Structure 1
Amino acid sequence: MNYNDDKIKYYLKNILSISSPSGYTEKIMDYIKEELVNLNVPHFETNKGAVVATIKGKNEDYQRTLSAHVDTLGAMVKKINPTGSLAIDPIGGFMMNSIEGENCTIETIHGKTFTGTIQSTKPSVHISGGEARELKRTPENMEVILDEKISSKKEVEELGISVGDFICFSARTCFTEKGFIKSRHLDDKASVAILLYAIKHIVENKVELPYTTNIFISNYEEVGHGASASMPEKTKEFVSVDMGCPGLDQNSSEYSVCICAKDSSGPYDLSMRKKLTDICEKESIDYKIDVYPHYGSDASAALRAGYDIKTALIGAGIFASHGYERTHMDSILCTLDLIIKYCSEE
């Protein structure tokens, strides 16, 4: 695999540094559009805010579309408490204990940014003892403590913070010397970086594609309707580039590309899965096939919307998904290699 690791990491680092919970994705989409302009790749923005790039191939009537999503988990200010803390309402599905003690930013509707920390309502064992340990980590028992000298609801309102403002979790991105990447939001920003690099590789190396290929960067996947609209009309094959889930009783790996056979929306297209696994075997790409009972993807959303397409789901193996996640460059490179080989073959 003759790919530039540093450039992939460059894309990933930049994407992870831009907060983008579902519903708050304009800034990161501006970055995506800027990179596509730099690569001289035609693209358009959908009414819902997704970005679709197109690379022409020999056959324009039979098209392939690959997707990844830039939107992440996050939260919204539900209420300003009398003490000046902020009650939260989750965006996306995650465990409350996974964000306890996490730094965050509050992005107001008027463009102001404030910092804070997410804590339980009983954060100290020195004060609450066993009650602090036994408190259920539910949204009602979690709050944001602002990094401001305030102690009342009125003082918070005077800062310009209001109900409906977005709460963005700190990514805490770390690249280790042994190839591991640790960060929040690798789901699915790792895939966005992979697709950006794939576009760069195909364009700069003048790779001839048998079919016109679209890259669909969606912005509402975490809330279930990312690719449910604006699919390029000639799409016949749709590959959701999301993630694999290594863990207890799973076959996925942080060192391979993961191919999903079935998730909560049902089986993915068998002929597509066979095509992808055949490429892996022919090209000696390390892969794992797995089943994810609590998973859905942009492909799931597209099928529910009624698109007549063949779908597949692949991605790097992301450990501890929807928490503080981890993957390895081996998995990212295997996923990238499969994408480029898939796009290049009939």
Structure 2
Amino acid sequence: MARPAIDLDYLKSRLADLLNTPSPTGYTDEAVWQLCRELERLGLDYELTRRGAIRARLPGRTAKPARAIVAHVDTLGAQVKQVKDNGRLELVAIGHWSSRFAEGARATIFSEGGAWRGTILPLKASGHTFNEEVDTQPVSWRQIELRIDAVTHGRDDTLALGVDVGDIVAIDPQPEFMDTGFIVSRHLDDKAGVATLLAALECMIREERIPTVDTWWLFTIAEEVGLGASSVLIPDVAAMVTVDNGTTAPGQNSSEFGVTIAMADQTGPFDWHLSRKLVQLAREHDIPHQKDVFRYYRSDSASALESGADIRTALVTFGIDASHGYERIHESALTDLARLLVAYAESDVEIGRDAKPLSGVKGFTHQPVDEDHD
């Protein structure tokens, strides 16, 4: 078929809506509702787990061995650890991120008394008071506090607002969609991935593209705390491609442009055959790409395998600068990634025996071990 026409305006519109819907891990219901409404608009059948992970099925020419493509809608955030005597809030992180990037953030506290706005500040926030100590205080979550924009002279006043230990704190994304094609925001990990999945789906439905086999589009709600795709797969799925961010930083081969195909993360190598297939598809479809290995990174793939799923997994990413901070990506990478997902959904099944969870050695794969380069 012709090259898929990914609707970039649709992709960016879905991304903007997702960014403006707070969804730190543990507080994802409204983002789930938003995704469900969009899947209904696209005409897809879907179902939810008890806690809200979503799986939507795009029927293929045959049912098995089914494929899955997954991204996570949950983001980093914080939680109230203590209501302090001064009326401000001590926080703990939701997910793994530095308090360095929390300092100065505007935020919303979701409490029994309603939603309250505030600012996360270092304990020594005033240079006029602390002089050079504002630059020498340590960086840690114990060195910051959340100042609520309400009249609170002390702990009792804050408790009277309905704010208490355990309340969820959502960090403002502050998104900017630039004329240069760059998108700058918090929480692009992994709402940009979710928007890319939706754009690939929208393209396949609009252009009446039929996957080779049943393809499940998964949206998980707890990847940032390590749970991810641990409870959303069905037994028919034999291979899963995870979509997440690729860290663009010194020592990494990722780029803000093109698709970065991860060959391994901290849990070890991804499936050799599936990763190789994605690289070959990128070459065949003239999709700019590069490979990378991540030392301090895990994704939905890891949680699926750790939960006992016997599936092949791979990771494809959009390059992101300053991951888990003020993140930046380029819209062209999202388009390239959506094209690769369409190509994968339409690609031939190469390992037919994967349709069965257990079988004999017939049809089992080989890996090259002694190639002649003379």
Q: Normalising to structure 1: TM-score of the pair?
A: 0.98
Q: How does 1:187-206 map to 2 (within 5 A)?
A: 187-206=189-208
Report whether the alignment pairs 1:116 with 2:109: no
1:40 corresponding residue in structure 2: 43
Q: How does 1:102-251 map to 2 (within 5 A)?
A: 102-109=105-112, 112-251=114-253
Q: How does 1:312-323 map to 2 (within 5 A)?
A: 312-323=314-325
Q: CA deviation at 1:169?
A: 0.4
Contact 1:263 1:296 in 2 (8 A): yes
1:337 corresponding residue in structure 2: 339
1:84 corresponding residue in structure 2: 87
Distance 1:341 1:271 in 2: 16
Q: How does 1:12-23 map to 2 (within 5 A)?
A: 12-23=15-26
Distance 2:189 2:301 in 1: 15
Work out which of the two has the higher radius of gyration on C-alpha atoms and give 1 or 2. Answer: 2
After superposition, the Cα gap between the structure-2 partners of 1:205 and 1:109, relative to the gap in structure 1 and judged at 3 Å, is: farther
Q: CA deviation at 1:47?
A: 1.7
Paired amino acid for 1:107: F
The correspondence for 2:54, drawn from 42, 51, 55, is 51
Distance 1:331 1:205 in 2: 21
SS in structure 2 opposite 1:72?
coil
Distance 1:230 1:16 in 2: 23
Contact 2:6 2:199 in 1 (8 A): no
Q: CA deviation at 1:157?
A: 1.0
Q: CA deviation at 1:37?
A: 0.8
SS in structure 2 opposite 1:216?
strand
Question: Which deviates more, 16-25 or 100-109?
Answer: 100-109
Paired amino acid for 1:209: P
Q: CA deviation at 1:113?
A: 0.7
Residue ranges of structure 1 left out of the alignment (5+ in a row):
none
Distance 1:278 1:146 in 2: 52
Contact 1:214 1:232 in 2 (8 A): no
Deviation per CA, 1:51-79: give whole Å up to 9, x if none. 11001101212100010000000000111
Distance 1:151 1:90 in 2: 25
Question: Which deviates more, 147-156 or 285-294?
Answer: 147-156
Contact 1:245 1:319 in 2 (8 A): yes
The correspondence for 2:27, drawn from 18, 24, 29, is 24
Identity score, percent: 34
Q: Normalising to structure 2: TM-score of the pair?
A: 0.91
Q: CA deviation at 1:235?
A: 0.4
Which 4+ runs in 1 deviate beyond 6 A? Answer: none
The Cα RMSD (Å) is 0.9
2:359 corresponding residue in structure 1: none
Report whether the alignment pairs 1:75 with 2:69: no
Distance 1:276 1:61 in 2: 19
Count of aligned pairs: 345
Paired amino acid for 2:346: S
Distance 1:145 1:214 in 2: 43
1:275 corresponding residue in structure 2: 277
Distance 1:208 1:160 in 2: 51
2:291 corresponding residue in structure 1: 289
Distance 1:216 1:122 in 2: 43
SS in structure 2 opposite 1:318?
strand
After superposition, the Cα gap between the structure-2 partners of 1:316 and 1:19, relative to the gap in structure 1 and judged at 3 Å, is: same
Distance 1:37 1:288 in 2: 35
2:365 corresponding residue in structure 1: none
SS in structure 2 opposite 1:261?
strand
Contact 2:108 2:115 in 1 (8 A): yes
SS in structure 2 opposite 1:315?
strand
Distance 1:60 1:208 in 2: 12
Distance 1:307 1:158 in 2: 47
SS in structure 1 opposite 2:277?
helix
Deviation per CA, 1:274-306: give whole Å up to 9, x if none. 100101111110001001000000001111111
SS in structure 2 opposite 1:294?
coil
Question: Which deviates more, 128-137 or 4-13?
Answer: 128-137
Deviation per CA, 1:291-340: give whole Å up to 9, x if none. 10000000011111111100000111111000010000111111111001
Distance 2:100 2:121 in 1: 9
Deviation per CA, 1:148-207: give whole Å up to 9, x if none. 122111111111111111111010000000100000000000000011111111112110
Distance 1:3 1:337 in 2: 7
Q: CA deviation at 1:141?
A: 1.0
Residue ranges of structure 2 left out of the alignment (5+ in a row):
349-374
